[in-house]
Amino acid sequence: MTTNRNLILLTGATGFIGFRVLVEALKAGYAVRCAIRSSQAIKVILSTPSIRALRPSEHQLYWAFVPDMAVPGAFDAAVKGVKYIIHCASPASNTNVRGSAPTNSDEWQVQTAINSMCWLLQSAYKLNPSTVRRIVFTSSLTAIIPHAYFKGQGGLTGPAFDAESRLPMPSAPFASGSGPHAASKIAALNASESWVRHFRPPFDLVSILPACVWGRHELAGTADELTKGSSGVMIDLLRGQRNDTPICGSFIGIEDVAKAHILALDPQVSGNQSFILSSDMAWEDTKVIAQRAFPSVFDKGIFNMDGTQESARIAIDASKTERVLGLKFQSFEHVITDVVSQWLELSQARLVSVCAIIALARGSRSEENVSIQLASSFPVVAGHKAKSPRFCHMK
């Protein structure tokens, strides 16, 4: 097993956050061993523009096959020789790696989050105690703020939630919608901190608690892939969807999330602490910012100002992150511009093809007609009310 004095074991490298962490780590000069489930992940990662531009050598980018992260010993081989571990992976489906559905999918999601975290800690403690210095864990604001707050049922009363806030261990049944996901985040954070207190390992733990994460998603090959999750809420709003259910008015850019993970590796930063990544925003501002940045898209009717989305305001104190890590968060304008730009790029080829077919069928190739068809090719129109509103999921 290869040893490198600045070698990171990274999980979740094919995910939204994990991939950006990989890029940031390579840029910072770290060597990275990615824990992957199959060889297909290697092809996906190596084909991206960012990795091709960096051209990492065989001494900078490694691979470790970990088919199931939630079983004992899953990381035993992967942790050997590493100095740091960044755990971005998170259970995101209700089937296990063998394709069979668990008896209770909600409880499975929570238990899998606990198991993957604790078995990773155990492998580092058992097989590499003299080398591993720090484990950085990607958690979420949902791990420290009650689920109801994200739906507007908490408000700004009481003290602000900060990096030291914690919730009790969850138990089934969980709230509908994103309840199991939130419960898995609470459980994984609590279990990891409890494990460290009990075993007192020679390495320390730093937890990153991001809000709703937005930004360019390099692994998204289509507009539909980009709009899964939080970005979809933004695009739906810009396309005129009306949602009566409040959604959390907190966000963070993907670039800031990746930088925070790498900055947290600095030995000058004390271990066994957490950092919140969050800035306030209002969903209604999304339309104003997007119209200012992309006026022609609104002129053509692709986007409109008719959508509505109430923001759930939550008092959150992220000042410690800027003070300790020296990280100044990106603006809401920057993040919106990034997401909308990529969505338009990914949509362009499909839309041009659709418009060309329609124009040919109607015997017209005029720019005016193509623009009209471009707008009408979208199923979400002004005044449309969401029947099943999406929720802005945290990591």
Q: Residue 281's closest CA among 219, 329, 346?
A: 329
| Residue in the structure block whose two tokens are 């090719």 | 377
**Residue 241 and residue 384 in contact, taking contact as beta carbons nearer than 8 Å:** yes
| pLDDT value of position 92 | 58
> Residue 118: what residue type?
C
What does the pLDDT look like over 20-69, one tens digit per residue? Answer: 999 999 999 999 999 999 999 999 999 999 999 999 999 999 999 999 99
Q: What span, in angstroms and rounded, lies between the C-alpha atoms of 104 and 279?
A: 35
Q: For the chain, where are the E strands, in sequence order?
A: 7-11, 31-36, 61-65, 84-87, 134-138, 204-210, 212-214, 242-248, 250-253, 273-277, 279-280, 308-312
- The residue that leads in pLDDT, 353 or 127, is 127
Reported for 50-58, long-range contacts at CB under 8 A and 24+ positions apart, including other chains, are 50/23, 50/218, 51/22, 51/23, 51/26, 54/23, 54/26, 54/27, 56/26, 56/32
**Residue 317 pLDDT > 60, yes or no?**
yes
**Residue 98 and residue 92 in contact, taking contact as beta carbons nearer than 8 Å:** no
The pTM (predicted TM-score) of the whole model is 0.87
Q: Rg of the chain's alpha carbons, rounded to an integer?
A: 22
Write out the residue limits of the CATH 3.40.50.720 domain(s) in the chain: 7-342
Q: For 290-388, where are the E strands, in sequence order?
A: 308-312
For residue 103, name the pLDDT band (cuts at 50, 70, 90).
very low
| pLDDT value of position 173 | 73
What does the pLDDT look like over 82-95, one tens digit per residue? Answer: 999 999 998 754 43
Q: Does domain 7-342 have CATH number 3.40.50.720?
A: yes
Q: What span, in angstroms and rounded, lies between the C-alpha atoms of 21 and 161?
A: 26
What does the pLDDT look like over 177-214, one tens digit per residue? Answer: 677 889 999 999 999 999 999 999 999 999 999 999 99
Q: What span, in angstroms and rounded, lies between the C-alpha atoms of 214 and 251?
A: 7
**Residue 286 and residue 298 in contact, taking contact as beta carbons nearer than 8 Å:** no
Percent residues over pLDDT 70 in the chain:
83
SS3 at position 33: strand
Instruction: Name every residue whose Cβ is closer than 8 Å to that of residue 72 and which is 6 or more positions away in sequence.
Output: 119, 122
Mean pLDDT of all residues belonging to the chain:
87
